[in-house]
Amino acid sequence: MEPKVAVIGATGAVGDVFLRVAAERKFPMSELRLLATARSAGKQLTYAGRKIAVEETTEAAVAGADLVFCSATSEASRRWGPVVRAARHVMIDDGSAYRMEPNVPLVIPEVNGDDLDWHEGIVSIPNCTTTPLAMALHAMRRVAPLRRVVAATYQAVSGTGAAAVEELRSQLRAFGAGAEIPAPGVYPHQIALNVIPHVDSFEEDGFTKEEAKMRNETRKILHEPELRFAATCVRVPTMVGHAEAVHVEFEREAPLDALREALRAQPGLELMDDPARNLYPTPLNTADDDRAFVGRLRVDPSVDHGVVFWCVSDNLRKGAATNAIQIAEELIRRGKL
């Protein structure tokens, strides 16, 4: 029996891509309800060529679905998670609300799909910067154990949602027309022609919540709670695709050839690394692709057993919608829905 599905946040940046990815993958469902706030009720969205009217998110709609995909806000996740659990159905949550809760698996199916076996009704997907990094680290630790990870990110505005995409568009339009650039609303500074070393809010230790999420989530997914980790998360004026420059130290020698082989063998990950042909992943040449990409792999001569690499993935696909659908597919495969 195919599941009845509800999507909370269907009108958002992730929701939009979710509908495309679900149609591409022909995700099995006997019913699809598209939910958002009252503001969007009645709006028509298209799924697999079929128009579906958006409804306000209600208890009846949420409790009536076997499988709920939530890509909305933390408040919405916290409001509807208990309803799904009480109905003994499953919610796959894109937000950060439940990611670090001990009874909630945080899953990238190609890395820790086995964690789905102990879910209690809610499964979280990782932050969109964590996903490609954890996939690359998981592949590489087959060669030698990880000792320390340092990452800097270059994150697209769609990671903040549909309003941020519109903010960059309107600033670029004004710049192109030689007009005054509109004041920022979503970000604390103008994002067009700028980079902002500030993603999510600051914590007491000087890191941002995004940087803490990357550290904590990577540790949880890899089951390495002591992994030494530091990140700087930066918002850049690209539309889609989060990139990262990553320095890794291993416990022992990790030859580049063996690392390349491990990266090539990692499902869901593509090695795109041919500097002689200017070939390495960028947000544009990897957009709309479900894989994570790694390139620019080289020895870091500043430490023992260190390498540096660059990774990129489409934050709305593998960073969000695709990973959520792959989790659902894996739950079905394991009989865990």
Ligand X SMILES: NC(=O)c1ccc[n+]([C@@H]2O[C@H](COP(=O)([O-])OP(=O)(O)OC[C@H]3O[C@@H](n4cnc5c(N)ncnc54)[C@H](OP(=O)(O)O)[C@@H]3O)[C@@H](O)[C@H]2O)c1
Chain residues that interact with ligand X, rule: CB under 6 A:
8-15, 36-37, 39-40, 57, 71-73, 75-76, 94-95, 128, 158-159, 161-163, 315-316, 319-320
Contacts 24+ apart (CB under 8 A), 321-324: 321/14, 321/17, 321/18, 321/20, 321/21, 321/22, 321/71, 322/21, 322/290, 323/107, 323/108, 323/109, 323/125, 323/126, 323/131, 324/18, 324/69, 324/71, 324/92, 324/94, 324/125
Instruction: Output 97 or 149, the one with its CB closest to ligand X.
Output: 97
Q: How far is the CB of 126 from ligand X (least distance, A)?
A: 8
Q: How far is CA 155 from CA 40, 70, 93, 235, 290, in A?
A: 28, 22, 21, 5, 17
Q: How far is the CB of 235 from ligand X (least distance, A)?
A: 12
Rg from Cα positions in the chain? 20
Indicate if 242 belongs to the active site: yes
Instruction: Walk across the sheet containing 67-70 and list its strands.
Output: 55-56, 31-36, 4-8, 67-70, 90-93, 122-124
Q: How far is the CB of 41 from ligand X (least distance, A)?
A: 8
Q: How far is the CB of 82 from ligand X (least distance, A)?
A: 14
Indicate if 128 belongs to the active site: yes
Instruction: Walk across the sheet containing 269-271 and list its strands.
Output: 228-232, 146-154, 242-250, 306-313, 292-299, 269-271
Q: How far is the CB of 192 from ligand X (least distance, A)?
A: 19
The position carrying tokens 């208890």 is: 59
Instruction: Output 62 or 254, the one with its CB closest to ligand X.
Output: 62
Instruction: Output 36 or 144, the one with its CB closest to ligand X.
Output: 36
Q: Which of these is catalytic: 70, 128, 233, 311?
A: 128
Q: How far is the CB of 335 from ligand X (least distance, A)?
A: 27
* Max CA separation in the chain (angstroms): 59
Instruction: Output 77 or 171, the one with its CB closest to ligand X.
Output: 77
Distance, in Å, from the CA atom of 110 to the CA atom of 267, rounded to the nearest integer, reads 6
Q: Please list the residues that pair with 244 across neighbouring strands.
A: 153, 311
Q: Which of these is catalytic: 89, 138, 242, 311?
A: 242
Q: Please list the residues that pair with 106 across neighbouring strands.
A: 124
Q: Please list the residues that pair with 243 across neighbouring strands.
A: 154, 312
Instruction: Output 70 or 254, the one with its CB closest to ligand X.
Output: 70
Instruction: Output 111 or 320, the one with its CB closest to ligand X.
Output: 320
Q: Closest Cα to residue 239, out of 178, 295, 179, 282?
A: 282
Distance, in Å, from the CA atom of 116 to the CA atom of 106, rounded to the nearest integer, reads 8
Active site residues: 128, 242
